[in-house]
C-alpha cells in the first residue's frame, strides 16, 4: 500500500534520525533535578525536534549501577543532575555532583570520549544553571523567562543560599511550595508530569493548577504536625542531630526544618524508609558557625551513595534495614569522631 504523499514528505521521513521519543533521566523528587529536566525538554523541542515526545524518568542514587535494568530504548537519551552513564546511547549528560563518577573509573570514559554533549561542573550551584549556560554557549539557546526564574531558584535551593533556616523552610512562594511538595514522596508519575508542566509554564502557574494547588495546601497543613514530630525525634550525638525514622514507613527527612529546630547542630543525619527503599540523608547545617570538616558526598560514596560536599545520601533496598541501621550508625560515628 502506497503511503499518502504528505506522509512521504513529512520531516521524519526526510530526516529519519530526528528523535521522536526522548528519555530524560533526572534526579527525582528534587527541585534542581526536575528544573533541569524541564529546561532540557524545552531546549530539545525548540532546537532539536519540535514534535518530540519526552519521557522523564526519575532516578535515585543507589548502591551499584542505578541504570541497571533501565532500558535505553528511545530515539535519544539524556541524563540531568544525576550520575554519569557510560552507555553510548546516553547522548546528553549534565551534572554537578562531585560524586558523578561511580565507580571512579567512569571518569576515564568521560575524559576519553569527551562528547560535546556531555557537561560536568562540580562547582556549579545547580545543574539547571549549568545546563542553561551550556545550551546558551553551545547552541545559542536562551531559556524562556519562566524557566530562567526556575533556574535561579534551583541555584538558591540546591546550594542552600538562604539567609536563615526560617527563610529556607518558608512556604510563601511558589518555588518553595513546589520544592516542599516534590520532597513529599511524590510518585514517578507525579514528577514526570511536573517536568512536562514546568517545561511549558511558570512555577506560579504550575502551583495554581487545579490538580496541584490542593496538594500544596496539604503540604502546608502538615507542617505543624511535622514540626512536633521532628522536635520529638531529634537525638543528639555530639553536635550531630540524628532523626531515626526507619520505623515510620513513608516519613520524610526533615531537611532544613531540622536545622531550624536544632540550630546548634553542625550535621544532621536522617534515616527514612518507603515500602521499597531505605535512605540515609546527611547534611551540614548551612547556618552553623562551626567550620565544616567532612566532605559529605565523599563520605556517603564510601557507603554506596553520593552527593555534594555539604549534602548527600545513601539509598538502600527496602529489605536492607540492618545494613541501613549500621550505615547510619557508622556515618554518625565518623561525623562525631
Ligand atoms: Mn542538583
Q: How many CB atoms lie within 10 A of CB 211?
A: 9
Residue 54 is assigned to a structural domain of this protein: yes
Q: Write the DSSP symbol of residue 4.
A: P
- Count of CB atoms within 10 A of residue 264's CB? 12
Domain boundary, last residue among 161, 178, 213: 161
- Whether residues 28 and 149 share a domain: the answer is yes
Residue with cell 541501613: 324
- Residues 133, 25 share a domain: yes
**pLDDT value at 195 more than 60:** yes
Sorting pLDDT into bands at 50, 70 and 90, what band is 16? very low
Distance (angstroms) between ligand 1 centre and the Cα of 50 equals 27
Residue 59 counted as domain residue? yes
Q: Tens digit of pLDDT for each residue in 204-253?
A: 999 999 999 999 999 999 998 999 999 999 999 999 999 999 999 989 89
The domain in which residue 319 lies consists of 234-336
Q: What is the total count of domains within the chain? A: 2
24-37 exposure pattern, b = at least 16 Cβ within 10 A, e = fewer: bbbbbbbbbbbbbb
**Which tens digits make up the pLDDT trace of 118-147?**
999 999 999 999 999 999 999 999 999 999
How far apart are alpha carbons 294 and 173 in whole angstroms? 32
In the reported structure, the alpha carbon of residue 181 is separated from the centroid of ligand 1 by a whole-number distance in angstroms of 17
pTM of the model: 0.86
Beta bridge partners of 314: 280
Domain boundary among 161, 182, 204: 161
Q: Are residues 136 and 259 in the same domain?
A: no
Give the integer Cα–Cα distance in Å for 214 and 206.
12
- At 300, list the grid cell: 556517603
26 CA from centroid of ligand 1 (Å): 10
Q: 314 C-alpha to center of ligand 1: Å?
A: 16
CATH number at residue 243: 3.10.310.30
User: Locate cell 552527593: which residue?
Assistant: 307
Claim to verify: residue 240 and residue 157 sit in the same structural domain: no
31 and 135 part of one domain: yes
Identify whether residues 140 and 270 lie together within a single domain: no
Ligand 1 midpoint to CA 88 (Å): 23
Is the backbone peptide bond immediately before 103 cis, with ω within 30 degrees of 0? yes
- Is the pLDDT at 185 greater than 90? The verdict is no
DSSP assignment string, 254-317: -THHHHHH-TT-SEEEEEEE-SSEEEEEEEE-TT-SSPP---HHHHHHTTT-EE-SSEEEEEEE
Residues with CB under 5 A from ligand 1 (ion): 32, 81, 127, 158
DSSP strand pairing (53-59 vs 21-27): parallel
Question: Long-range pairs for 317-326 at CB < 8 Å and ≥24 separation?
Answer: 317/62, 317/276, 317/277, 317/278, 318/273, 318/274, 318/275, 318/276, 318/277, 318/278, 320/278, 321/246, 321/273, 321/278, 324/246, 324/271, 324/273, 324/278, 324/280, 325/246, 325/271
Say how many Å lie between the CA of residue 95 and the centre of ligand 1. Answer: 7
The 10s digit of each residue's pLDDT in 40-94 is 999 999 999 999 999 999 998 777 789 999 999 999 999 999 999 999 999 999 9
Q: Indicate if 251 and 154 belong to the same structural domain.
A: no
Report the pLDDT value the prediction gives residue 17, as an integer from 0 to 100: 57
CATH of the domain at 42: 3.90.1640.10
Distance 312 CA to ligand 1 centre (A): 11
Task: Tell me, in angstroms, the distance from the centre of ligand 1 to residue 87's CA.
Answer: 21
How many angstroms separate the alpha carbon of residue 4 from the centre of ligand 1? 47
- Give the Å distance between the CA of 126 and the centre of ligand 1: 5
* Same domain flag for 282 and 147: no
Tell me how far the alpha carbon of residue 248 lies from the centroid of ligand 1, in angstroms: 27
Q: Cα of 36 to ligand 1 centre, how many Å? A: 8
For residue 74, report the distance from its CA to the centre of ligand 1, in Å: 24
Angular region, 93: left φ>0, alpha ψ -120 to 50, beta rest? beta
Rg (Cα) of the chain, in Å, rounded?
21
Compute the distance from residue 232 Cα to the ligand 1 centre, in Å: 30
State which of 105, 133, 161 marks the end of a domain.
161
Distance 153 CA to ligand 1 centre (A): 12
Q: Could you tell me if 67 and 85 are in contact, meaning their C-beta atoms sit under 8 angstroms apart?
A: yes
Same domain, 262 and 150: no
Q: Ligand 1 centre and the CA of 33: distance in Å?
A: 6
Amino acid at each position: 500500500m502506497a503511503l499518502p504523499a504528505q506522509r512521504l514528505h513529512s520531516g521524519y521521513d526526510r530526516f529519519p534520525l530526528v528523535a521522536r521519543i526522548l528519555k530524560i533521566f533526572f534526579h527525582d523528587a528534587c527541585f534542581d533535578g526536575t528544573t533541569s529536566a524541564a529546561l532540557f525538554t524545552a531546549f530539545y523541542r525548540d532546537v532539536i525536534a519540535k514534535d518530540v515526545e519526552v519521557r522523564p524518568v526519575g532516578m535515585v542514587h543507589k548502591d551499584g549501577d542505578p541504570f541497571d535494568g533501565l532500558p535505553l530504548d528511545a530515539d535519544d537519551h539524556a541524563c540531568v543532575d544525576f550520575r554519569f552513564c557510560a552507555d553510548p546511547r546516553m547522548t546528553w549528560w549534565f551534572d554537578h555532583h562531585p560524586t558523578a563518577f561511580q565507580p571512579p573509573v567512569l571518569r576515564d570514559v568521560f575524559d576519553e570520549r569527551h562528547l560535546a554533549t556531555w557537561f560536568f561542573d562540580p562547582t556549579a550551584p545547580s545543574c539547571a544553571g549549568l545546563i542553561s549556560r551550556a545550551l546558551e554557549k553551545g547552541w545559542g539557546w536562551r531559556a524562556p523567562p519562566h524557566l530562567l526564574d526556575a533556574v535561579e531558584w534551583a541555584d538558591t535551593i540546591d546550594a542552600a543560599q538562604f539567609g536563615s533556616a526560617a527563610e529556607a523552610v518558608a512556604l510563601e512562594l511558589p518555588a518553595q511550595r513546589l520544592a516542599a511538595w516534590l520532597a513529599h514522596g511524590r510518585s514517578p508519575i507525579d514528577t514526570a508530569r511536573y517536568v512536562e508542566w514546568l517545561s511549558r509554564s511558570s512555577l506560579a502557574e504550575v502551583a495554581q493548577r487545579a490538580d496541584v494547588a490542593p496538594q500544596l495546601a496539604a503540604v502546608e497543613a502538615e507542617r505543624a504536625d511535622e514540626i512536633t514530630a521532628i522536635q520529638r525525634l531529634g537525638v543528639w550525638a555530639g553536635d550531630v542531630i540524628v532523626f531515626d525514622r526507619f520505623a515510620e514507613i513513608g516519613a520524610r527527612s526533615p531537611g532544613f526544618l531540622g536545622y531550624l529546630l536544632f540550630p546548634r547542630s553542625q550535621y544532621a543525619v536522617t534515616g527514612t524508609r518507603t515500602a521499597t527503599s531505605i535512605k540515609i540523608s546527611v547534611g551540614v547545617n548551612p547556618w552553623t558557625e562551626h567550620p565544616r570538616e567532612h566532605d559529605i558526598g565523599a563520605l556517603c560514596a564510601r557507603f554506596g551513595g553520593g552527593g555534594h560536599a555539604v549534602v548527600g545520601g545513601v539509598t538502600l533496598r527496602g529489605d536492607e534495614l540492618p545494613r541501613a541501621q549500621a550505615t547510619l550508625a557508622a556515618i554518625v560515628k565518623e561525623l562525631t569522631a
